[in-house]
Amino acid sequence: MLPRRRLLSLSVVALMFGLCPLMAQTITYTISGKLGPVLSGSDPLNVNGKSGVVTAVVGSTLIPKSKTKTSATYTLPAGAITVKIGGSNYATKGPSTLKYTFPAKGPDTMVVSAKVSADGISGTVVGTASLAKGSFTRAVLKHPTRFEPSTQTLTSATTATGPGSKVEYSASILGATVLGLSGNATN
């Protein structure tokens, strides 16, 4: 009896260690490119024409905080999103969000939103990546997933509220600015 119990214990330990790397997987999404044109607002940070990068590191075992038939929204822990605009890094504060949308018509989108702070000013940065139709499967309603193909070209939005890729930054003393984004999304 003792050898069987020991064998069972060793099997459980081996199984746990074998699955731990799978359970701890993360997905890194990077949205990068050139900001502009200004679609709305006054661009007080003068980032039109400069480079921008939003990176999100997401645990593949997260569960959505909300979902519909065609979208899922996840809460990410503090530090999961990093923002670099025009060569300046903006530290994220507190939790952030990641929303996947895959409508019946039109492109799939991934929207990351984070509270940021720089030079004593707090604000919000929202990055929208407009991806190819079918980039996400319904599996994203249960857990974050990678998009396919894994590198996609982003086309800038032409209006602040219309389709396309864009970055919005806002702070109470600066107001809100929306800029188009032309570049790439990878995971």
Distance CA 102, CA 89 (A): 30
Task: Tell me what pLDDT residue 24 has.
Answer: 55
- Beta-bridge mates of residue 118: 121
- What is the SS3 assignment for 41? coil
Report yes or no on 144 lying in a domain.
Answer: yes
Residues 104 and 138 sit within 8 Å (Cβ to Cβ): no
Report yes or no on 169 lying in a domain.
Answer: yes
Report yes or no on 154 lying in a domain.
Answer: yes
Report yes or no on 19 lying in a domain.
Answer: no
Report yes or no on 20 lying in a domain.
Answer: no
Task: Tell me what pLDDT residue 117 has.
Answer: 84
Report yes or no on 14 lying in a domain.
Answer: no
Q: Is the pTM above the cut of 0.75?
A: yes
Task: Tell me what pLDDT residue 14 has.
Answer: 38
Task: Tell me what pLDDT residue 160 has.
Answer: 97
Distance CA 72, CA 17 (A): 30
Domain that holds residue 145: 25-186
Specify the number of domains making up the chain.
Answer: 1
Report yes or no on 54 lying in a domain.
Answer: yes
Report yes or no on 182 lying in a domain.
Answer: yes
Task: Tell me what pLDDT residue 171 has.
Answer: 86
pLDDT-flagged residues of the chain (< 70): 1-24
- Single-letter amino acid code for the residue at 175: G
Identify which of 187, 184, 175 has the alpha carbon closest to the alpha carbon of residue 156.
184
